[in-house]
Amino acid sequence: MEYSKKMRVLFNKPGGTAGKGSMMVRVTIPSEFVKALEITPENKEVIVSLKDNKIIIEKA
């Protein structure tokens, strides 16, 4: 499967005991990607890597 989609990166200020100036950053993964990798609520671990200016998400 090869598929690309332009997404937005979400930036939020975390609450609780997070340090001043902390930032929480998220990207939503399309459900088609999750299904293709067979990620489930029971088997949800992934490996996230940065290589050659690309973010790579693999099933653990």
6-24 pLDDT, tens digit each: 999 999 988 878 778 899 9
Q: Is residue 46 part of a domain?
A: yes
Q: Say if CB 28 and CB 40 are below 8 A apart.
A: no
Q: Say if CB 37 and CB 48 are below 8 A apart.
A: no
Q: Spell out where 1-60 has E strands.
A: 10-12, 24-26, 46-51, 54-59
Q: The domain that contains 32 carries what CATH number?
A: 2.10.260
Q: Is residue 47 part of a domain?
A: yes
Q: Is residue 2 part of a domain?
A: no
Q: What tokens appear for 60 in the block? A: 């653990």
Taking residues 27-56, what's their average pLDDT? 95
Question: Which domain does 55 fall in, by range?
Answer: 10-59
Q: Is residue 28 part of a domain?
A: yes
Give me the pLDDT at residue 19, please. 79
Give me the pLDDT at residue 6, please. 93
